[in-house]
Structure 1
Amino acid sequence: MAALQTLAPDTLPTVIKRDGRRVAFDANRIRRALEKAFRATLNLPAETSLSVELAAEIEALTGAVVHWCRNRSEVSVEEIQDEVERTLMRAGRYAVARRYILYREARAEARRRQQLTYRRADGTEALFPHQAIRQRIEAACAGLEDVDPEQVYQELLRTVYPGIPEDELDRALTLAARTHIEREPNYTYVAARLLLDSLYREVFGRAIAPDEQAEACRTGFHSYLEQGLRLGRLDERLLQTFDPIRLADALHPERDRQFTFLGLQTLYDRYLLHDAAGRRFELPQYLWMRVAMGLALHEDDPTTRAIQFYELLSSFRFMNSTPTLFNAGTPHPQLSSCYLTTVQDDLGAIFKAIRDNALLSKWAGGLGNDWTPVRALGAHIRGTNGRSQGVIPFLKIVNDTAVAVNQGGKRKGAVCAYLEVWHLDIEEFLELRRNTGDERRRTHDMNTACWIPDLFMQRVRARKHWTLFSPDEVPDLHELYGRAFQERYEHYEREAEAGRIRNWRRVDALTLWRKMLSMLFETGHPWLTFKDPCNIRSPQDHVGVVHSSNLCTEITLNTSPEEVAVCNLGSINLVAHVNDQGEPDWEKLRETIRTAVRMLDNVIDLNFYPIPEARTSNLRHRPIGLGLMGFQDVLYRRKLSYASQAAVEFADELMERIAYYAYEASADLAAERGAYATFKGSKWDRGLLPLDTLDLLEAERGEPIPVPRTARLDWDALREKIRRQGLRNSNVLAIAPTATIANICGVSPSIEPTYKNLYVKSNLSGEFTQLNPYLVRDLKALGLWDEAMLDDLKYYDGSVQEIDRVPPELKERYRTAFEIEPRWLIECAARRQKWIDQSQSLNLYLAEPSGRKLSEMYLLAWQLGLKTTYYLRALAATQIEKSTLDINRRGIQPRWMKSRSPSSDIIVRRDGPACSPDDESCEACQ
């Protein structure tokens, strides 16, 4: 104290506090701060006395700081603290100085938090609601394992700033939770629940505590209906037809807690109804009930049926496709997913087809156009005595129309053009998606697909020639298939050789096949679809021809100038029908399918048809497309690798059950409502079920289809029921991509394998970290899930194959899409195809593509009787650097790793565009 006592009080400055107040200098505050720093550094508890030497050192340091302050009139607290740091550094007490700096930062952060404000919606400012925020986070974490509310709270405080607006604070809170998803998958539910809090505030105009949300949801249902009617967003029949009190009582707001963050964000961004200012007035449970009501309008007891439909949707047992979710219960209920058209060889018909595309796309329909009838480049035009420009210029207009008329302003318009491979314009058609060449003859925003007869595939194998024609000179080829096509095609070849056909060209079949495959690898298009399996196995062969598939290659329906084929899609969530070990509850599955078939059949009568040809076709044939999603999830629960015979057998058994229950449900619906108009003479009527049609395809090809015909259920009894009662729907099953609705339900899309075990998914709602929860669960059980494992997953781009600590059985089970031999995907698809009356959206993956591998893969798909294939996915040649890895542990990434695989979810094709593994602009059906 002697050194301090030598300074008279009048020589010491006035201290300026942070709030501007001026107070007397107090040296004891400096001494206490120094002592705390020394004790913290030396780990000395407060009750332990300081040694004489240490006490003297602290006194001397204090004196040095006081001496620096002498004869100053004023000094700020910050200036004094800066001098304390400098004094410690001059004395060589670097560790203590560091501790003191950290202490200052901690105090500063505490003051910032204490003084933090936010701006309410009405513009007024208030102190930051620390306690309320903590309670919201704790409520969001309730019941979830391995999540820590404090981590979310601390992450939030690192990002907020004084005066942050209330809505931005809500977003920051949600983002604070999502940052932890890559370390613990359960944080996805935390983020979703916090987003739900924000949604309730938006809908009700005030904060609703989590424990009050269920009551608010039920009591607000009637007001929601009234507001929707007032805004013109809901069908007025919803209040006239239903008992809103019963419906409100049937709501299950607690089911909102099953959403993942990606699922709820997707719903928020694109599905929930909003007013003209963009403010949502619809909650998730209101959406499910709206859709259920919209599909029950014509039922005898609409309220009871709406509750039944709602139960399926809100529990994620079944999900209708996106157009139904968008539009059910609204004044424009365009509920159907897919439209297939055939374009006739006439200028008026061509531009009518383009107009039809625009009208169908406006209301969220995905389009498949058959352009084969249009004459080729150089063909004679009788009316003007000129020469045709062929198909390509019109496709450019189709492309631009899809861009101009998007799907209700909610996602991109999407169309796929089909051309049969004997068309004289086929070679230029293959190049439509290239990034080089004449831009006037390129369609970068449109999908393309080849419609391939068996004869072409057989000539490819035999290395024979192939002849190209213009359809105006061979008008019946497009209407024929199987042996009839072969006979007529060979006749036209002879006619051409004899000079009786003017516009034709002979090419090598294998060369054309190789060009198709090279374009498929380079640009992702055209998709390869097979004409003969689609037609020979079609149950509707008695009333027309399948001329193409749809946008996503799962629909195979007849088209004609008078009929635009329509399909109405929805998908079973397999995960909701199995236990934790992956054992199916068959009775629950049967119950779900019976209700789902009824819902899809209702779509046909309730649908808003933008063009009359679609209405004619849909009411006449009543096709639906019941699909599935979550297949990969169920394999994980069963502890099966996708690349296994056990997975193939399970795919077979599962699809047989689904098919049996679906055809049975349609037959029972026919007994109640009547069979579809063209049932008589169909394969169903003739006792031919999809399993039986494999033999027909085999006979027409003249070669075996190596798919086991094993059946486990009593199909003879079902044949008899269908003969007796008829079917309500001409077509019943089709497996669509489910890219978006699978996100909503939080399961793997459709029949897809896992893309990567850790990656960032990009879609119209933003970027979302995706971490395989099944892998994390199994690694936790073995005590292997830690920061090092997370780093390894990042380093190896979501693959476990090169991580030494991962056991072999997990490496096999958690193979990613590019680590599974394509034959396993094709084998599983072939087993499913034998039960399906339509087709399936089958993506194929190749880690190291080559011409030979591509050819073998697609030849195998054809040989096994598949009707269609979808995207080819190939890995990029380079990858992005990993900016979040610890370089001190990893070092610089070796050059061989940089060329091994991509680190994001974008697949780049050489000289071609990038596409996402769940490109929603393409998979517009769902």
Structure 2
Amino acid sequence: MTEPGDISDLVYADRYAWPGESLRIDTYRRVAIALAAREAGPERERHAALFLENFLAGAIGAGRIMANAGAADGDGDGGATMVNCFVQPAIDPGLGWPQGLDAALARAVRTMSMGGGVGYDFSPVPPADSGAGRGGACAVIDRYDQACQALATPARRRRGAQMGVLACDHPDLPAFLRAKAGRRRWPTLNLSVALSDRFLRAVENDEAWTLRHACPPAGGQASQRGVRGDDGTWPYARLPARRLWEALTAAACRDAEPGVLFVDTINALNPLRDSERLSATNPCGEQPLPPHGSCVLGPINVSRFVRNPFGANGPPGFDFSELGRRVRIQVRLLDNVLDLTRWPLPEQAAEAQAKRRIGVGLSGLGDALLMLRLDYGSPAARVFAARIARCIRDQAYLASAGLAAERGVFPAYAPRPYLEPRAGWPPLPPAVQAAIRRHGLRNSHLVSFAPTGSVSIAFFDNCSTGIEPAHAWQYRRRLRIGEAPARNVVAQNPAWRLWRRLHGDGDELPPYFRRAADIAPSAHIAMLAALQPWVDAAISKTVPLPPECTAAEVGALFLRAWRLGVKGLTVFRPDPRMPAVLEPARHEGQTGPAAPAAA
């Protein structure tokens, strides 16, 4: 049975509205005033007004900001953080194994209890066959999953979210790839495998691959597995790289996990690559971070900047000037969060202050392209989407240079990575480069495209999320509000609803109205590749697959993504054995494949 209720209002009231906030503008005022507290006294009122104007124009903070800003005033969750994304060590490096496990787990619980999602690189965990105890990487991940589940209480409005990453040469990788078969184990974790260029070349060339670890196998130097290598690691097994690859792609095809992280690409394109190594991401994959790293996010609904949508009164256009203005205000707002938020751990505060990572993002890209009468899967759509991403990047860097002139550069700043030409990083415009040379930068990273799921529903009228096209035009969604049983609510895509308002229910939708499942997987990857050069962090992207897709086809998609220079990828194939979060409703006005279930 489908129950009445506007999905946007329901999600807003459940996740973001404080007592006494019945309208979104009430929330916007609370957040704007709270974040303007960073400004000098005489300027606070002016900047609060600018932040409020930005919210009304479609540039908001990510979920933790909208839910928790102002908590220091004594309302809301006084123990919450405004930071969405963290990466923490799975083992405290100062204590080593096994003592460092309990300490690291306690710190993870502290972060999650304050509302942060956490990613971990489990590769330092000794393998199950090492004789070091604790059962290897999968047993350690069990403990993290159990700790996160234990945090769930009736008072918590958000479930904990974690990312578990394992390197492609870890001896426990085969068990890791089997662990989530049927999607029952580790429900609080997304999984990714960190793939090196060396491993991927071994797959291409059908070469052997060695699983190895710094902790020796049982028996130490007497082990018959081999002797310690020059890199300080011990070999555990040698097998064809393609055997591991087939296990990985079969798991991804079957279970939608693990995703893949192309770690050498991630590190090569990191402007701080000379001073940090990135081996894990936040739970949704859009933010590669060092140990104790974090990122403050804020999406902008780019469909708000389409002028004359669908060309009803003339050719549609896009207001890049207005988008740029919103980006510049967004950078200041997010930089303020770094100085105002509560930090779960002092190490996180120190890391954030040293580098001041922020992530201006977007939502509604799919809807914007529809309003511009562009097919998401077409080259023209990719060219236009890249123009939007470039505008966000260029204006974010310009704003950060302006903030540096006012507040100083981030402590770890060095100009060379931002100004010298490098592969995969299109040069900034001359005016932006001149501003950086003159003032430096306030923030090490500025652009991150997250999935924006709940904020797009609550604040953007259920627009298409992140960089994704719409899953369906009208559908039933299973929605859980508080501790009440899940209910079915009808949801509509606002671009589709606008087109219907302009053209009526009788007209057939034009060909450019294509849902996510209608678009070829290769075109999804092409869109990701078109946007990545303008994003200094990464992009959360899930490629929907047809039900008949094979593991070999998934492998070909992963290799294509790697060759195109993207940083990571997840795929999803509908599984009739699993309950769907999204179900297409009737009378969408278009025949064709049903919308895929949500990952």
Normalising by structure 2, report the TM-score: 0.87
* Equivalent residue letter for 2:267: N
Number of the residue aligned with 2:15 = 270
| Distance in 1 between residues matched to 2:247 and 2:71, nearest whole Å | 47
- Return the match for 2:203 from 460, 465, 471: 460
What secondary structure does 1:730 align onto?
Answer: coil
Q: Give the SS at the match of 1:676.
A: coil
Whole-angstrom CA distance in 2 between matches of 1:303 and 1:511: 62
Aligned residues: 559
Which amino acid is the alignment partner of residue 37 of structure 2?
A: L
1:837-880 superposed Cα distances (whole Å, 9 cap, x missing partner): 11000110111311232112111111100011235243648999
1:850 pairs with 2:550 = yes
Question: What is residue 290 of structure 1 aligned with on the other side?
Answer: 30
Tell me what 2:313 maps to: none
Partner of 2:513: 814
1:50-89 deviation per Cα after TM superposition (whole angstroms, max 9, x unaligned): xxxxxxxxxxxxxxxxxxxxxxxxxxxxxxxxxxxxxxxx
Structure 2 distance, partners of 1:626, 1:497, is 43
Whether 2:588 is the aligned partner of 1:872: answer: no
State the shift of 1:343 in Å: 2.4
Which of the numbers 591, 602, 605 marks the counterpart of 2:339?
605
Deviation track 1:824-846 (CA, whole Å, cap 9, x = no partner) reads 11111111111111100011011
Q: 1:591 — aligned with what?
A: 325
Out of 401-410 and 317-326, give the one that drifted further: 401-410
Counterpart amino acid of residue 298 in structure 1: R
- State the secondary structure of the residue aligned to 1:759: strand
Residues 552 and 736 of structure 1 are in contact (CA less than 8 Å); yes or no, is this contact kept in structure 2?
yes
Which residues of 2 match residues 698-847 of structure 1 at below 5 A? 715-744=429-458, 745-746=460-461, 747-765=463-481, 766-775=487-496, 778=499, 785-786=505-506, 806=508, 810=510, 812-847=511-546
Amino acid at match of 2:36: A
- Kept in 2: contact 1:263–1:743 (CA 8 A): yes
1:534 aligns to 2:257 (yes or no): no
| Deviation (angstroms), 1:776 | 5.4
Residue type of the partner of 1:854? V
Paired amino acid for 1:517: T
Q: Which amino acid aligns with 2:454?
A: T
Q: Which amino acid aligns with 2:201?
A: Q
Instruction: Give 1:389 shift.
Output: 2.3
Q: Aligned-pair RMSD on alpha carbons? A: 3.0
Please, which runs of 5 or more residues in structure 2 have no aligned partner? 73-77, 218-224, 310-315, 482-486
Letter in 2 for 1:403: Q
Q: Which amino acid aligns with 2:297?
A: L
Change (3 A) 1:585 1:390: same
Matches within 5 A, 1:488-503: 503=235
Inter-CA distance 863–883: structure 2 relative to 1 (3 Å threshold): closer
Aligned counterpart, 1:621: 355
Q: Distance in 2 between matches of 1:883 and 1:906?
A: 9
The separation in 1 between residues aligned to 2:370 and 2:404, in whole angstroms, is: 37
Q: Does 1:305 align with 2:47?
A: yes
Amino acid at match of 2:29: M
Which blocks of at least 5 consecutive residues in structure 1 are unaligned? 1-171, 179-190, 192-260, 275-279, 382-386, 475-492, 696-708, 787-804, 887-896, 908-915, 918-926
Give the SS at the match of 1:352. helix
Q: Which AA in structure 2 matches 1:291?
A: V
For residues 25-36 of structure 1, what are the structure 2 equivalents within 5 Å? Answer: none
Question: Quick one: which of 323, 327, 337 aligns to 2:64?
Answer: 323
**Which residue is 1:694 aligned to?**
424
Match of 1:390 among 110, 116, 136: 136
1:673 to 407, 425, 437: 407
Corresponding residue number in structure 1 for 2:189: 446
Q: Secondary structure at the match of 1:361?
A: helix
1:647 aligned to which of 374, 381, 386: 381
1:873 and 1:503, CA in 2 relative to 1: closer, same or farther beyond 3 A?
A: same
Give the structure 2 partner of residue 378 of structure 1. Answer: 129
1:30-429 correspondence runs (5 A): 178=4, 261-274=6-19, 280=20, 283-300=23-40, 301-313=43-55, 315-331=56-72, 332=78, 334-344=81-91, 345-381=96-132, 389-406=135-152, 409-429=156-176
Comparing both chains, which one has the higher relative contact order based on Cα–Cα distances under 8 Å and sequence gaps of 6 or more?
2
Structure 2 counterpart of 1:318, which letter?
A: A
**Distance in 2 of aligned mates of 1:739 and 1:732:** 20
| 8 Å Cα contact 2:63-2:84 kept in structure 1 | yes
What's the CA shift for 1:445? 3.3
Checking the alignment, whether the CA contact within 8 Å between 2:215 and 2:234 is kept in structure 1 is no
TM-score, with normalisation over the residues of structure 1? 0.57
CA distance in 1, matches of 2:251, 2:572: 11
| CA–CA separation in structure 1 for the residues paired with 2:85 and 2:394 | 24
- 1:586-633 Cα deviation digits (max 9, x unpaired): 221111111100000001011101111111101111000111001011
Give the secondary structure class of the aligned counterpart of 1:297. Answer: helix
Q: CA deviation at 1:316?
A: 4.3
Greater Rg, structure 1 or structure 2?
A: 1
**CA distance in structure 1 between the aligned counterparts of 2:233 and 2:325, rounded to whole angstroms:** 58
**Native 8 Å contact 2:121 2:280 kept in 1:** yes
Which one of 293, 297, 306 corresponds to residue 565 of structure 1?
A: 293
Name the stretch that deviates more: 670-679 or 294-303.
Answer: 294-303
Question: In 2, distance between residues paired with 1:776 and 1:324?
Answer: 29
Secondary structure in 2 matching 1:813: coil
Residues 878, 901 of structure 1: 8 Å contact kept: no
Secondary structure of residue in 1 paired with 2:534:
coil
Write out per-residue CA displacement over residues 134-153 of structure 1, whole angstroms, 9 at most, x where no aligned residue.
xxxxxxxxxxxxxxxxxxxx
- 1:553 aligned to 285, 290, 296, which one? 285
